[in-house]
Chain A
Amino acid sequence: MHPPRPARFLLKVLASRRDKAYLGDVQEIYFGLAERLGDGAADRWYWREALKSLPRFIAESIRWSLIMFKNYFKTAVRHIRRDKGYSFLNMAGLAIGMACFVLLMMWVQDEINWDLFHKNSRLLYRLKSNMVSQPAPLGPYLKTKYPEIANTVRFYFSEPLMMKYEEKYLDEDGFVLADPSVFEMFTITFLAGDPATAFVNPDSVVLTEDAAKKYFGNANAVDRVLIVENRFPVRVTGVVKTPPRNSDIQFDILGEFRILGHFKKGYENHWGNHEYQTYVQLAKGATAAMVVPKIANVVKDHLSIMTTPLTLMPLSRIHLYEDGAIQYVAIFSLVALFILAIAACNFINLTTARSGRRAKEIAVRKVVGAVRSQLVKQCLGESVLLSLGALLIALVVVALVFPSFNVLTGKNFSLGFLLGHGLFLYLLGTAVAIGIISGAYPAFLLSSFRPAGLFKGGRPRTGRLSGGNRFRKALVVAQFAISIGLMISTLFIHRQLSFIRDFDLGIQKENVVYLPVKEPILKSRDSFVDELTSRPGIVNVSFASSLPSYVGNSASGAGWEGKDPNFRPSWPFVSTDDRYLDTLGIKVIEGSNFPTSEETIKAPRFIVNQKALQEMKIKNPIGARFSLWGVQGTIIGVIKNFHYRPLRESVQPLLLFILPEMYSHVLVKIRPENGNVDEILTRIKDVWDRFAPGFPFSYEFLDASYDRVYATERRMNSEFKYFTFLGIFISCLGLVGLAAFVAEQKRKEISIRKVLGASLGGILRQINKEFLAPILLSNLIAWPLAFWGMKTWIRSYSYHAGLSPLIFVVAALSTLFIALVTVSLQSLKAARENPVDALRCE
């Protein structure tokens, strides 16, 4: 015979904490009723009692928890105010950590949402073979031939062009051509004009709002006419929103695809020229797996030579996997978590260290009847409060550093971004979680103490305390291990970058200026070169189809005597002239340079690099017959390999020949004396203006173009530097707090030692010793992890600096130094105190 279990439970939960007498009465009445009227009546009575009391009890318990909350809040605020320095350290560390986390996660969020703003993003794919560009006829062919493919669009990303509006000339490096279907497939918002009719007429372009402002100021842009390269007019039919920065489809001017006819004749039927990024939109219900096998060999069938089969790359994966952003997303997510972990360790550490001070408060609370769960709640509440405060500070910090962070990352974040992506809710959750996690340990530790012990010793039993010390030291070890790991990584990335910078690429890239090729210059290129080289300070001039910092074009279909018919090379090439090798200081190993350009054009000759020769597998290259694109010629020379791709890639074959129509850059080698670079540039400009009147002069140094090739690495390097610094800084904040705590705990010990004659140095040594071991231990943990991490990263480079042990030693010594200075500054205060002050209180 028992009261019904659920009802009993209900009453117990609601009432037991406060009123045992009440429960006793209920029990007594229940048994009385059961005896007189039977179990059924007694159970009914019990249920009625429980259910009817429910609202009152709930109201009551809410009232009490509010009252207690007010009390907790008050004590929390009092504690924060009483130990201002400590609370500041605690909150600042967490706030900085959170700010770093927010910034890094924003970066990551931005990267993983790349191009996902397009409404059709799930249906869009880019065609991919061994390269991302496809022949022009492919897109239209796929669309008419396969019902699974709902739509296709071709993009042509033009070289920089010169635009003219009225009397104004402007360089345009964002000129992109696309089929009219682009407006149906991609999300492009029109501010003026109509997407359905914008590309109906040939020679139509739409401008982004930024471009419209650049060309026409605030005037209406629609129906205005721009002249391209002084050759043909285009009409503006619309103004669209500037594409968001996190998109691969970037343009200032988007032109109708047929404009290409002004540059290339017969492109519509040329299956051999891979120059156009082509996207397809699958029909509803079609999947990539269905479509790929059908289209795999389309290009091959048209070209009747072997090509890499076509596949589809989902739009959502292009940026992460094709552009390789996933690597940085992974690295930066990891760094974000690490920094947050450091900050959380700090917070837990400082909170726990201080908890001893509150032993008396806890004891009093226990004596007046607080139960353990109340104390736990109080501690947790306090740390959640602190961590929410830290979040608030972090957001303020984030708002303040937005501009610099944007410069650092080359992104364009705003607070709107933070709120727009639900990132904020996520952060709120993180802050509460950190508060709970970091409050949990002190909460359970403290609430477990026995009041008598707390009163007597003034602090918890020693067994417990030393346990807490071990825990704190473990946290310090973890913190410093992460900091050291970050430091090693930073040093190593830095080393790799300077290794790349100083790497002998096999060409002389210094003192080379490059200019774009314009039509009038192409026409009279010989006299242009003669004129330039006649000026003082200008050593050599050469034309080329791409910059030596990045040769992107490849040619397939090369043939030579004795070639294995199954070998289908696709080799990067540069169309250049007879002065190329001299201008860049490239060494000829076998044979010779081109004779004069005219002669070479009459009787085509080719130069290959060592790597190409190796792949050709022929003994006597010089004079060997060689053909490309149906042109028969001979090999005249073999040059030493030089690096024309980022050092991530190993040296590939290279083909040089002379085909002036393909020239896109003029390389000018200068020899500045006593820093008169500006003078020489003025001379170049003079010649330019004579040969290409009406074309604005623009130039750049070749070195700078290398910097662009390594932009991601450079950016990563500087980001790493800041975040490592902050990581170490936060760890030190924690150390300051901890050292202060240890110094205070040992106040009496220090005083007694001093009375007994210990020197200041001796005392400092003694306190420092306590921190020495954990930091050495963190080094031991961090080294192998950092070593492994860097080994993984470096694998993506074909050429890299070794993992010098010096880096590890430097990281170890500097963390040790920083830590000891931090601790010493704290313990110095304690050590210099007059012993009397510490000892007399007893």
Chain B
Amino acid sequence: MESLTKLEELVLIAVLKLKEEAYGTSIYKHILGLTGRDVTVSNVYFPLERLVRKGYLQAVQGEPTPTRGGMSKRYYQITKSGLAVLQENRALNSAAWRGVAGLIKRVKV
């Protein structure tokens, strides 16, 4: 199984959730909403490109709008293998987190 970085995972989930509306700005806003201030747009773009290269995402050229300075949007759609890798990651995550909640409460450091 191909392992994803946390950011890649977040980005992939964001694309899935945003459905037809998944492009740079919306993904950035989504992740910003999740994590707080410490994200830049380029931070989102590098994992996006990597995911496209790996074949988990597929990019589609959108329409340019005036607020974008005439530059077109690039929409992202999740691919089959993207779904599969997300599935696997989810399984891995929940397996890894099983029983952790109780531990966190009990263990004293």
Q: Which residues of A contact B (CB under 8 A)?
A: 15, 19-29, 31-32, 48-49, 52-53, 56-57, 60
| Other 7 A-B pairs with CB < 8 A, given A20-B72, A32-B25 | A21-B72, A22-B24, A23-B69, A25-B23, A25-B24, A31-B67, A49-B42
Tell me the bound Cα distance from A60 to B49 in angstroms. 12
Which of A24, A48, A52, A60 has the most chain B CB atoms inside 10 A of its CB?
Answer: A24
User: Are A23 and B71 closer than 8 Å at their CB atoms?
Assistant: yes
User: Are B71 and A27 closer than 8 Å at their CB atoms?
Assistant: yes
Least CB distance, B76 to chain A, in whole angstroms: 10
User: Are A21 and B40 closer than 8 Å at their CB atoms?
Assistant: no
User: Is B73 an interface position by the 8 A CB rule?
Assistant: yes
Tell me the bound Cα distance from A26 to B23 in angstroms. 12
Tell me the bound Cα distance from A25 to B69 in angstroms. 9
Tell me the bound Cα distance from A23 to B40 in angstroms. 12
| Nearest neighbor of A35 in chain B, beta-carbon distance | B67
Interface secondary structure of B, over-half rule? helix
Least CB distance, A795 to chain B, in whole angstroms: 70
Least CB distance, A51 to chain B, in whole angstroms: 9
Tell me the bound Cα distance from A537 to B89 in angstroms. 115
Which of A29, A31, A56, A57 has the most chain B CB atoms inside 10 A of its CB?
Answer: A29
User: Are B68 and A24 closer than 8 Å at their CB atoms?
Assistant: yes
Tell me the bound Cα distance from A766 to B75 in angstroms. 62
- Which residues of A have CB within 8 Å of B68? 24-25, 27-28
User: Are B25 and A25 closer than 8 Å at their CB atoms?
Assistant: yes
- Which residues of A have CB within 8 Å of B46? 56, 60
Least CB distance, A33 to chain B, in whole angstroms: 11
Chosen A-B contacts, 8 in total, with CB atoms closer than 8 Å, are: A22-B45, A25-B25, A26-B41, A28-B67, A29-B41, A32-B67, A49-B41, A56-B43
User: Are A24 and B41 closer than 8 Å at their CB atoms?
Assistant: no
User: Is B55 an interface position by the 8 A CB rule?
Assistant: no
Given the interface pairs A20-B72, A31-B67, the reply to whether A53 lies near B24 with Cβ below 8 Å is no
Tell me the bound Cα distance from A57 to B69 in angstroms. 21
User: Is B74 an interface position by the 8 A CB rule?
Assistant: yes
Least CB distance, A19 to chain B, in whole angstroms: 7
- Which residues of B have CB within 8 Å of A56? 42-43, 46
- Which residues of A have CB within 8 Å of B23? 21, 25
Least CB distance, B86 to chain A, in whole angstroms: 23
User: Are A24 and B71 closer than 8 Å at their CB atoms?
Assistant: yes
- Which residues of B have CB within 8 Å of A53? 40-43
- Which residues of A have CB within 8 Å of B67? 27-28, 31-32
- B22-56 contacts to A, CB under 8 A, are 23-25, 28-29, 40-43, 45-46
User: Are A19 and B45 closer than 8 Å at their CB atoms?
Assistant: yes
User: Are A29 and B42 closer than 8 Å at their CB atoms?
Assistant: no
- Which residues of B have CB within 8 Å of A19? 45
Given the interface pairs A20-B71, A21-B23, A22-B45, the reply to whether A28 lies near B65 with Cβ below 8 Å is yes
| Nearest neighbor of B38 in chain A, beta-carbon distance | A52
Which of B28, B65, B68 has the most chain A CB atoms inside 10 A of its CB?
Answer: B68
Least CB distance, A43 to chain B, in whole angstroms: 15
Least CB distance, A775 to chain B, in whole angstroms: 56
- Which residues of A have CB within 8 Å of B25? 25, 28-29, 32
| Nearest neighbor of B44 in chain A, beta-carbon distance | A25
- Which residues of B have CB within 8 Å of A15? 42
- Which residues of A have CB within 8 Å of B45? 19, 22
Given the interface pairs A21-B74, A23-B71, A25-B23, the reply to whether A57 lies near B40 with Cβ below 8 Å is no
Tell me the bound Cα distance from A297 to B1 in angstroms. 101
Q: Mark B56-70, 1 if CB is under 8 A from A, else 0.
A: 000000001101110
From A21, A48, A52, A57, B71 is in contact (CB under 8 Å) with A21
| Nearest neighbor of A20 in chain B, beta-carbon distance | B71
Least CB distance, A505 to chain B, in whole angstroms: 87
- Which residues of A have CB within 8 Å of B28? 25, 29
- Which residues of B have CB within 8 Å of A26? 41
User: Are A25 and B41 closer than 8 Å at their CB atoms?
Assistant: yes
Least CB distance, A11 to chain B, in whole angstroms: 9
Least CB distance, A472 to chain B, in whole angstroms: 43
User: Are A21 and B42 closer than 8 Å at their CB atoms?
Assistant: no
Tell me the bound Cα distance from A21 to B40 in angstroms. 15
Q: Mark B7-23, 1 if CB is under 8 A from A, else 0.
A: 00000000000000001
| Nearest neighbor of A15 in chain B, beta-carbon distance | B42
Tell me the bound Cα distance from A596 to B99 in angstroms. 135
10 A-B pairs closest in CB distance:
A24-B71, A25-B24, A21-B74, A53-B42, A24-B68, A27-B69, A25-B25, A20-B71, A52-B40, A31-B67
Tell me the bound Cα distance from A368 to B40 in angstroms. 30
| Nearest neighbor of B61 in chain A, beta-carbon distance | A21
Tell me the bound Cα distance from A20 to B64 in angstroms. 10
Tell me the bound Cα distance from A520 to B52 in angstroms. 105
Tell me the bound Cα distance from A27 to B68 in angstroms. 5
Least CB distance, A330 to chain B, in whole angstroms: 59
User: Are A24 and B42 closer than 8 Å at their CB atoms?
Assistant: no
Tell me the bound Cα distance from A594 to B14 in angstroms. 121
- Which residues of B have CB within 8 Å of A60? 46
Tell me the bound Cα distance from A822 to B12 in angstroms. 68
Which of A15, A25, A29, A49 has the most chain B CB atoms inside 10 A of its CB?
Answer: A25
Tell me the bound Cα distance from A15 to B42 in angstroms. 9
Tell me the bound Cα distance from A352 to B71 in angstroms. 38
Least CB distance, B48 to chain A, in whole angstroms: 9
User: Are A21 and B24 closer than 8 Å at their CB atoms?
Assistant: yes
User: Are A22 and B69 closer than 8 Å at their CB atoms?
Assistant: no
Least CB distance, B53 to chain A, in whole angstroms: 13
Least CB distance, A28 to chain B, in whole angstroms: 5
User: Are A48 and B73 closer than 8 Å at their CB atoms?
Assistant: no
Tell me the bound Cα distance from A347 to B25 in angstroms. 52
User: Are A24 and B24 closer than 8 Å at their CB atoms?
Assistant: yes
- Which residues of B have CB within 8 Å of A27? 67-69, 71
- Which residues of B have CB within 8 Å of A22? 24, 41-42, 45
User: Are B40 and A24 closer than 8 Å at their CB atoms?
Assistant: no
Tell me the bound Cα distance from A15 to B45 in angstroms. 11
| Nearest neighbor of B42 in chain A, beta-carbon distance | A53
- Which residues of B have CB within 8 Å of A23? 69, 71
- Which residues of B have CB within 8 Å of A20? 71-72
